[in-house]
Amino acid sequence: MAFSNALILCFFLAINMAVPTLATVYTVGDTSGWAIGDDYSSWASDKTFAVGDSLVFNYGAGHTVDEVKESDYKSCKTGNSISTDSSGATTIPLKKSGTHYFICAVPGHCIGGMKLSVKVVSKPSSSSSTAPSATPSSSGKPSPSDSTPTTTTTPTKQNESSATIVSPFLAMFFTVTWIFRYILV
């Protein structure tokens, strides 16, 4: 009886490890990176950002990635950032739903186009959609940032981190191998 329970437990453990995570890693601006002159609204328009995804900003010296409030984003006002980084490779994990705003705080850069807003949903969509969507705030009332329509689509495989898909399958393989080697032999 204990042997069959252990086998069933190992089977369910292996199945749970085999389910790939749906987190996506987005490189802001793709190969262009975070630079003056790019249109980040267009870049973001065909993507669905979900809680658990990450944004990777790649940029050269003389730039920053600052997360700011909506009002500072719209006015390109600096000095009141939620977070800031100037390392050249900034990864921002998207931990909560809602609209997130990013600018380069170097004078003139935000006005020159180095600004990005992304609407983050609680769960990724399983099908493509071109209809605007709004996420209510926790109070049940739409927040001011929810009124901005956004076109969204499901991310393609080229944007996904292969590590999030491969490693669960390797874990399942090793678990099943262990089961056969130590329990069934």
pLDDT given for residue 179 in this prediction: 59
Q: Is residue 183 part of a domain?
A: no
Name the nearest CA neighbour of 64 among 35, 44, 26. Answer: 35
In a domain, 79, yes or no: yes
pLDDT by residue (tens digit) across 72-112? 999 999 999 999 999 999 999 999 999 999 999 999 999 99
Q: Is residue 163 part of a domain?
A: no
At 148 the pLDDT is 37
pLDDT (tens digit per residue) in 16-63: 444 455 789 999 999 999 999 899 999 999 999 999 999 999 999 999
**In-domain check, residue 109:** yes
Could you give the residue ranges of the DSSP H alpha helices within 83-179? 163-178
Say if 2 falls within a structural domain. Answer: no
| pTM, entire model | 0.58
* 29: region left, alpha or beta (phi > 0 left; psi from -120 to 50 alpha): left
**Residue-number span of the structural domain to which 153 is assigned:** 21-157
The total domain count for the chain is 1
pLDDT band at 118 (very low <50, low <70, confident <90, very high): very high
CA atoms within 13 A on the CB side of 181: 6
Asked if 63 and 87 touch (Cβ cutoff 8 Å), the reply is: no
Question: Is 5 within a domain?
Answer: no
Between CA 55 and CA 160 the distance in angstroms is 11
Mean pLDDT of 160-175: 48
CATH code, domain with 32: 2.60.40.420
The span from the CA of 33 to the CA of 117, in Å, is: 15
Q: Which residues contact 117 (CB under 8 A, 6 or more apart)?
A: 41, 44, 70, 73, 99, 100, 101, 102, 148
Q: Measure the CA–CA gap between 165 and 112, rounded to whole angstroms.
A: 37
Calpha distance 96→146 (Å, rounded): 14
- Kindly tell me if the per-residue pLDDT of 119 is higher than 50: yes
What letters, b where the CB count within 10 A reaches 16 and e where it falls short, cover 29-64? beeebbbbebebeebbeebbbbbbbbbbbbbeeebb
Asked if residue 147 is part of any domain, the answer here is yes
pLDDT at 175: 60
Q: Is residue 4 part of a domain?
A: no
